[in-house]
Structure 1
């Protein structure tokens, strides 16, 4: 009896120490994300806003996505200082839902540009995109009371909500690639920008949101501190990843990135070739 009590006590102490260690690591990682992501998000908002032209719809969704990321970063700051945690948590998850909605809007807009160009050209107006943004923000604000209660049903509903965009993002990417093969009027650079944007959106969603979806939908007994730490850390990284969307909105930026990658690859190839030649020369000399 005494031995079991000692074992249980030692196990509780070990669990408490591991939880405390996870919280300390999460605190440090969160502040790193805030210090890097906050200035980058502000710069990205200004840069994307400078690209906004008449009937140029895509940056509107990206700007709203970056604004939702900015709200998430501000909520992280408030939560890490330890003030008004409950309402901050509700606003954080509400802005996270808004960012998911704007990611779907970005992918849908790029898909319509290629798959249904004539239909989209006559309906591509600032007014429609503003209405869509208002709907997304309204839906996310309406869901704030849902996060007020920490219940299993709330976690399940949020996990299902995060899971729904997956088939849509995959459909938009596959449909866009198929439509691009038949789109003769679209330039090669524009094709790379569109496909790159959709691939990046799907990649961000898969890498950063999938662990959170697994945690929200997992059984209560199956959830561990490791999975919770990883999933919420990845969710906090989404504002940093969303800044990369600016690259695929700016003309010529994709070509510069590809040229840099090609130059790096050529340098590695030349270094490998020269090292092989040096090795062969050394072998011949030694003989």
Structure 2
């Protein structure tokens, strides 16, 4: 989510966000590490969801789109670290911004879906259709594209940055509402198992925590003009923004049924084995 003073919202006017136009080396290295770890894991996650579809299981459509948006981000990161021509870099910066905004949209959709399962289970099961999900997906993909394309015809740079800050801030009250509403409705959700409730609450807490940690510095920079010259905060927000696809993989693990239980079981087994070994050695 880099910035330009005229037509391109994702390119900075002094080119400080480009690995070879002045971006600190640490950010360049961190981007390479994020790509090397995140891209293979995301491809594995998508293949796992595709296997569920082949086995006639209903795969969560929002998490699939979320992972696809992450692939877009990883591809844009690869182009950036490859040191392309400046115009190419600007184009892929815009695509990166679209992918980031799309992933944020689907994070909110996932949180909303989890909230509805707990707070309005009957309404959710009756009204939930593939058609509605597809319409939501089209809207989530279209709105960021329209916004970024409109930037090319926008003259006032400060207004664009402020709007971006507001767009990033908007999900916070929604995520807080979804978490609070879910906690309030837990006792009334009789049709949902205890394990499912714990996983849903854990996921909502994780979404809010990830969003706060990854996007708060960027929101501060975009909404408070006085801190935009703070190099430390600007570098921090660039690094955190690029961790977003990795955070989405954590959400995927929470959504997968049984994944957290298996992880906890493995940890418990390891702990029991270590306790047995310590007792035997004693």
When the two structures are superposed, what TM-score results if normalisation uses the length of structure 2? Answer: 0.82
Q: For structure 1, which segment, 48-57 or 32-41, has the greater mean C-alpha deviation from structure 2 after superposition?
A: 48-57
Q: Check conservation: 2:118, 2:197, Cα contact below 8 A.
A: no
The 10-residue stretch of structure 1 (248-257 or 224-233) with the greater mean CA deviation from structure 2 = 248-257
For structure 2, list consecutive stretches of 5 or more residues without a partner in the other structure.
1-19
Q: Distance in 1 between matches of 2:273 and 2:218?
A: 39
Q: How many equivalent pairs are there?
A: 256
**d(CA) in 2 for partners of 1:36, 1:80:** 15
1:216 aligns with 2:222: yes
Please point out which of 103, 108, 113 is paired with 2:107.
103
> Which of the residues 121, 127, 130 maps onto 1:126?
130
The match for 1:33 is 34
Q: How many Å apart are 1:267 and its aligned residue?
A: 7.0
Question: Relative to structure 1, is the Cα distance of residues 142 and 255 closer, same or farther in structure 2, using a 3 angstrom cutoff?
Answer: same
- Tell whether the 8 Å contact from 2:221 to 2:227 is kept in structure 1 after alignment: no
Query: Relative to structure 1, is the Cα distance of residues 98 and 118 closer, same or farther in structure 2, using a 3 angstrom cutoff?
Result: same
Higher gyration radius (CA): 1
1:190-221 C-alpha deviation (Å, 9 max, x unpaired)? 11221122122112111111111112112145
CA distance in 2, matches of 1:245, 1:30: 21
Instruction: Write the distance in 1 (CA, Å) between the matches of 2:57 and 2:98.
Output: 29
Aligned to 1:162: 168
The alignment status of 1:143 with 2:144, answered yes or no, reads no
Counterpart CA distance in 2 for 1:54 and 1:179 is 31
Correspondence list, 1:72-111, <5 A: 72-83=73-84, 84-111=88-115
Within 2, Cα distance between the matches of 1:90 and 1:158? Answer: 13
Question: Deviations along 1:228-282, whole A, 9 cap, x unmatched?
Answer: 11101101001011111222222221212223344566678889x97xxx8xxxx
Please give the alpha-carbon distance, in whole angstroms, between the structure 1 residues aligned to 2:242 and 2:151.
17
Instruction: Report the CA distance between 1:20 and its aligned residue.
Output: 8.6
From 112, 116, 125, the equivalent of 2:116 is: 112
Confirm or deny: 8 A CA contact 1:90 1:147 kept in the other structure: no
TM-score (norm 1): 0.80
State the Cα RMSD in Å.
Answer: 2.7
Aligned partners of 2:273, 2:57: CA distance in 1, in Å? 42
Q: Which runs of 5+ in 1 are unaligned?
A: 1-18, 279-287
1:23 aligned partner: 24
The alignment partner of 1:143 has SS state of: helix
CA offsets per residue over residues 84-123 of structure 1, 9 Å max, x none? 0111111111111111110110011111111111111111
Q: CA contact under 8 A between 2:69 and 2:100: conserved in structure 1?
A: yes
Q: How much does 1:185 deviate?
A: 2.5
Higher helix share: 1
